[in-house]
């Protein structure tokens, strides 16, 4: 050990702090501390939560007096009791007893996601109706039934028609899906259609919807489709069917995030922290394939970090896992293929030499390129065609690929203006602003977003005696990959959603940045800036308490909207 307290472990990674075996100043509980020191923070957080919960109960009362749906009061009180009891159990069972993070992460993510699933009704997430219909198509294939009609529209049960057409409008009238605008009536519709659990034969008859499937890999909808297929096989009603698909998607997300935490504990707290953001939980507990993308991105990056810093060598099965995951991830959003850059952190010696390293890189890259070529062939043909790029939603001409190649200065100017004008919105929506279908009223309040930000930054700072895995160039490489991902997202949205009349690039949303967020925060870890107080579990508890408040507030807002 050097004089300044630094020490190198067996892998040459830096550690810093007191290694005498005594607990450092970061310890929250100690034998000689008073009970008030141990529980003051918990009592303060819970007291504030109870106070705010009582305040939002007044919102629920006001809403029920307007609509007459007095059963919403019982629903709110049930949610309130669940939040308070859940946080108390988490604190007493895992925080006080100092249990490892991996022991409570699965339950914490899954239960938090289930609460968001209940408060933010089915099909309320961005583009969730399109994802739901695509998962419905995959479920029909699983059951060996026809999935689409002659026009390419997805076939659904008559029982489930209210999900895509809440008011039963016909003809040329606009169809409004359940959850498109969350209000008290949405909860009432769920209650009305959920009274009879089983569906009769008439409700099982298939008819055409008004939606075509999303053009992406069907693997992204397998978890959701399993829930839908099970509900259809048993003959359950549309409400249960909608929740079962969401539940399976959340379970998939939870499993792969927790596997990522176990693979590389060095960023486990950050992975859990990002997974507990309101926006992350919202999309994870929906039909969106963002849950698929985020969880597999975490898994792939953690697997690469494990091979780089913890494993003695790269085996063939490691290579097979990386190739399979990137092949599944790539077709959803091609720009996330940049996660293959994490593999460059693995030393070549662990592959057995330069030739083996090149062969391994070729296998992973070929798996990605092959999957993208098969699933995204239509999109590539559209970009390479000489026809005019028409932006359907705006009814205007859009940018073409030649613009990126022949006018780089204008292209960079658009990038600059977009970042200057929209970076704050990306940041807020990444954490939890504009939940639901990008609804500005269904937002996490700014003070809560600041609290979540502080927690994430603290989770990204190094503690005493913590192993520091990344050196300077490795941190720079991760930041470069994240910047490349953002640039790729902006380029794709420029070509697909932005009319030439726009002064900024449209379509980039904060949730698209979530896959890289924990690894960007990981670059904050340094021996020069140490966190000497508090434990990761305390920050995770505080983030969970913020989620509890957000859920109560959202329920109150929805109950008041008539």
pLDDT tens, residue by residue, 121-157: 999 999 999 999 999 999 999 999 999 999 899 999 9
pLDDT of residue 179: 85
pLDDT in tens, 391-420: 777 778 888 877 777 888 888 889 999 999
Backbone angles phi and psi of 224, in degrees to 5: -65, -40
Q: Which DSSP string corresponds to 20-58?
A: SSS--TT-S--TTS-HHHHHHHHHHHHHHHHHHHHHHHH
Which SS3 state, helix, strand or coil, does residue 463 take? strand
What integer pLDDT is reported at residue 296 of this predicted model?
A: 96
Q: 31-45, 222-236, 265-279, 355-369: which has the minimum mean pLDDT?
A: 31-45
Share of the chain above pLDDT 70, in %: 88
What is residue 38's predicted lDDT score, i.e. its pLDDT?
Answer: 56
pLDDT band at 527 (very low <50, low <70, confident <90, very high): confident
In 19-174, at which residue ranges do the beta strands (DSSP E only) sit?
Answer: 155-157
Query: Percent of the chain at pLDDT above 90?
Result: 61
What confidence tier does 3 reach under pLDDT thresholds 50, 70, 90? very low
| 172 vs 557, more confident | 557
Answer whether residue 28 shows pLDDT above 50. Answer: no
pLDDT band of 229, cuts 50, 70, 90? very high
Digit-coded pLDDT (tens) for 101-111 = 878 899 999 99
**Model pLDDT for residues 542-559, shown as the tens digit of each residue:** 999 999 999 999 999 999
Asked if pLDDT for residue 443 goes beyond 60, the answer is: yes
pLDDT level of residue 379 (50, 70, 90 thresholds): low
When pLDDT is cut at 50, 70 and 90, the band that residue 24 belongs to is very low
DSSP 247-279: HHHHHHHHHHHHHHHHH-GGGHHHHHHHHTSHH
- Greatest Cα pair distance in the chain: 80
Q: How far apart are CA 46 and CA 84, in angstroms?
A: 7
* Better-scored residue on pLDDT, 67 or 269: 269
Kindly state the tokens that stand for 272: 């859990």
Q: Give how far the C-alpha of residue 554 lies from the chain's centroid of Cα atoms, to the nearest Å.
A: 19
> How confident is residue 345, by pLDDT bands cut at 50, 70 and 90?
very high
Split at pLDDT 50, 70, 90, the class of 197 is confident
Mean pLDDT of the chain: 87
224-228, 256-260, 353-357: the lowest-pLDDT one: 353-357
């Amino acid at each position: 050990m050097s004089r300044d307290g630094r020490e190198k472990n067996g892998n040459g990674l830096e550690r810093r702090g007191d290694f005498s075996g005594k607990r450092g100043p970061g310890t929250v509980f100690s034998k000689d501390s008073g009970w008030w020191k141990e529980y003051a923070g918990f009592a303060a957080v819970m007291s504030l939560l109870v106070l705010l919960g009582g305040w939002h109960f007044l919102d629920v009362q006001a809403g029920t007096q307007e609509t007459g749906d007095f059963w919403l009061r019982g629903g709110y009180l049930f949610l309130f009791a669940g939040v308070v009891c859940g946080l108390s159990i988490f604190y007493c069972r895992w925080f006080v007893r100092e249990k490892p993070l991996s022991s409570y992460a699965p339950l914490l993510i899954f239960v938090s996601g289930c609460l968001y699933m209940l408060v933010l009704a089915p099909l309320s997430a961005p583009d969730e109706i399109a994802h739901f219909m695509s998962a419905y198509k995959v479920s029909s294939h699983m059951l060996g039934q026809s999935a689409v009609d002659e026009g390419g529209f997805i076939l659904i049960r008559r029982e489930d028609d209210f999900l895509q057409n809440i008011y039963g409008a016909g003809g040329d009238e606009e169809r409004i899906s359940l959850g498109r605008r969350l209000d008290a009536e949405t909860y009432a519709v769920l209650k009305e259609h959920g009274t009879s659990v089983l569906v009769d034969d008439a409700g099982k008859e298939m008819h055409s919807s008004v939606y075509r499937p999303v053009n992406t890999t069907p693997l992204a909808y397998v978890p959701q489709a399993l829930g839908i297929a099970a509900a259809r096989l048993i003959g359950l009603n549309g409400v249960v069917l909608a929740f079962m698909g969401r539940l399976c998607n959340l379970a998939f997300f939870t499993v792969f995030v927790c596997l990522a935490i176990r693979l590389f504990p060095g960023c486990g707290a950050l992975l859990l922290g990002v997974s507990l953001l309101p926006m992350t939980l919202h999309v994870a507990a929906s039909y969106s394939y963002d849950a698929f993308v985020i969880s597999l991105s975490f898994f792939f990056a953690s697997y690469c970090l494990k091979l780089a810093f913890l494993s003695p060598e790269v085996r063939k099965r490691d290579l097979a896992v990386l190739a399979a995951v990137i092949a599944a991830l790539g077709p959803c959003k091609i720009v996330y293929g940049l996660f293959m850059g994490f593999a460059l952190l693995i030393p070549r010696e662990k592959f057995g030499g330069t030739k083996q390293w090149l062969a391994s890189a070729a296998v992973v890259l070929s798996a990605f390129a092959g999957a993208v070529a098969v699933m995204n062939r239509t999109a590539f043909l559209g970009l390479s065609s000489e026809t005019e790029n028409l932006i359907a939603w705006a009814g205007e001409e859009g940018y073409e690929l030649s613009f990126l190649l022949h006018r780089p200065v204008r292209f960079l100017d658009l990038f600059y203006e977009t970042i200057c004008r929209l970076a704050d919105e990306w940041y807020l929506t990444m954490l939890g602003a504009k939940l639901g279908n990008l609804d500005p009223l269904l937002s996490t309040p700014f003070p809560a977003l600041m609290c979540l930000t502080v927690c994430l930054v603290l989770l990204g700072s190094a503690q005493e005696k913590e192993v520091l895995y990344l050196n300077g160039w490795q941190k720079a490489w991760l930041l470069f990959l994240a910047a490349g991902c953002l640039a790729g997202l902006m380029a794709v949205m420029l070509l697909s959603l932005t009319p030439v009349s726009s002064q900024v690039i449209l379509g980039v949303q904060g949730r698209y940045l979530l896959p890289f967020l924990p690894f960007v925060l990981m670059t904050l870890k340094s021996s020069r800036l140490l966190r000497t107080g508090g434990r990761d579990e305390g920050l995770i508890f505080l983030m969970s308490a913020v989620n509890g408040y957000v859920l109560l507030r959202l329920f109150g807002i929805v109950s008041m909207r008539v």
